[in-house]
Amino acid sequence: MKLLIIEDDIAFSHTLARRMSKMGFECVCVNLESEIIDKCKVFLPQYVLLDMKLEHSSGLHYIEGIREALPTCKLVLLTGFASIATAVEAIKLGADDYLTKPADTKLIAKKLLGEEIEVENSFESTMSPERLEWEHIQQTLQANGGNVSETARQLNMHRRTLQRKLQKRPVSK
């Protein structure tokens, strides 16, 4: 079971690859957008996990190219910011499924393998409001290159309040 993980966050992609390898997948990571289509043609995976927000563009831009190179692969789009519009767009472009981060490896594997997901279990992976806030703060901070002042302005939050929130450990789900 060959899995191609397309993710610009190198640490996250390697962690995910290790975890998916333990579940029986042979994993290869692509961290540069310029290598996506070439890796698809060389590695020939049966499964592709594509991040929505890549360094320079959206993962949506690569779905059609991946489909051309790998017409029978199972393609799942992974995103930190879910919306109905992007889910519909991803499916229209050729993605087989859509998952929101953070998703545990069991859920990812089930989506890739096309297994049914129990409704009760899917609600267990829903984030708490505190975790959702922490994830949003981290995404905004990353988008601003670590600039705390700009992040505080965008979040409509006092800089000191943001600094206190950043010092706290992330809440588990």
Condensed to tens digits (0 to 9), the pLDDT of residues 47-87 reads: 999 998 888 888 889 999 999 999 999 999 888 776 777 78
pLDDT at 130 over 80: no
Backbone angles phi, psi at 167, to 5 degrees: -75, -20
* Intra-chain end-to-end CA distance of the chain, in Å: 29
**Structure tokens that stand for 77 in this block:** 């789009």
Round to whole Å and give the CA distance between 82 and 14. Answer: 23
Distance (Å, whole) CA 59 – CA 50: 6
Fold (CATH) for 129-167: Arc Repressor Mutant, subunit A (1.10.10)
Q: Where exactly does CATH 1.10.10.60 map onto the chain?
A: 129-167
Contact in structure between 55 and 30 (CB atoms under 8 Å): no
7's tokens: 């993710």
Q: Has this prediction a pTM greater than 0.75?
A: no
Residue ranges matching CATH 3.40.50.2300 in the chain: 2-124
Is the pLDDT at 173 greater than 60? The verdict is: no
CATH topology of domain 2-124: Rossmann fold (3.40.50)
Q: For 79-107, what is each residue's pLDDT tens digit?
A: 877 677 778 888 889 999 888 877 788 88
Average pLDDT over residues 120-145: 69
11-44 pLDDT, tens per residue?
888 988 999 999 899 999 999 888 999 999 999 9
- Which H/E stretch holds residue 129? helix 129-143
Cα→Cα distances 103→85, 93, 114, 122, Å? 20, 22, 15, 10
DSSP code for 53: B
pLDDT at 126: 57
